[in-house]
Structure formats: C-alpha cells, structure tokens
Amino acid sequence: MRKKRIMLIGPGGSGKTSLANVLNGIEGPARRTQNMVYGEKTLDVPGVYLESPWMHKHMIAAAQDASHVLMLVRQSSCRESYPPGFAKAFRVPVIGVITGSGEKPENDGWCIRQLRKTGVLGPCFHINLGDKTGLCELMEALYLYTR
C-alpha cells in the first residue's frame, strides 16, 4: 500500500510550496515548482496545473495518493482560480486554506466564497506562514483527518 500524502493545490503564489516545506519540516526558501513534488508528507502541485484545464485530470488522478486535499487561496489576491464544484472531483476530504491571513482582511469574504463555490464544505483555515498564525489549528485538523 502506498503512503498517503497531503495534496496541496492552488494558484501560483498562493503559498503551496512554502506550506509543503513547513509540513515536511524543511527549512529554507521555497522554490517555484514545475512538476508535482512528492515530499515526505505532501504532494505539492504546481499552480500551472490548476491554471490549465487539461491538467485537471492529472490532479484528480494524483489524488489517489492523497489522504486529503488542501485548496489554497491567497488573501491578498482576488482572482478566481478554481472551476465551480472542482472540490467534488476528489474522493478524499477537501480543506480550504486562506494563506497570507491578515494581509488584506477585507478580502476574507471573497476568499471564503471562492472556496465554497469550488465545493469546499468544511471550515476554512486562515494561516500566515510569516508569523505562524493558524498553523496549529490546521495541523490539528490534518491530524483528525488522518486518524
């Protein structure tokens, strides 16, 4: 049986690789990823896969190796990146994550609506990797989903 990982998807610049590094215990600067990167605990999907509809089937297929999917949106960027109902394509729990929390709080409602429109049903976690805001809450939720 293959090891299940946390799959991170989101548009370019949403903090996927930085969050993957934190979850995998890797220190140092994040580098832009061009291909899916299988880490110890994560599967980091490049933003271009989300931005190219013909790559969606590859993300859905790769989710076979996932225990759950994190769908990221950046609070400071109000651009629609997910197709409506996209979260429903995954057969594992999908968790909404708003990155850069506190950068533009006035965009919070937009971020939540974007995640709901894509089909994220559960709570949306607000994190900021700069000051570690919200990481404990997200880690606790990930632990609950993997038990």
The per-residue pLDDT of the chain, averaged, comes to 91
Report pLDDT for 147.
52
Q: What are phi and psi of 138, to 5 degrees?
A: -65, -45
Report pLDDT for 31.
78
Report pLDDT for 79.
86
Sign of the four-CA dihedral 114, 77, 23, 138: negative
Domain of 34 in residue numbering reads as 5-146
14, 73 contact by CB (below 8 A) = yes
Residues 6+ apart with CB under 8 A from 90: 60, 63, 66, 69
Report pLDDT for 29.
76
Task: CATH number of the domain at 62, please.
Answer: 3.40.50.300
pLDDT at 128 exceeding the cut of 90: yes
How much is the pTM?
Answer: 0.92
Count of domains for the chain: 1
pLDDT in tens, 59-95: 999 999 899 999 999 999 888 999 999 999 999 999 9
User: Residue 42: helix, strand or coil by DSSP?
Assistant: strand
pLDDT at 144 exceeding the cut of 80: no
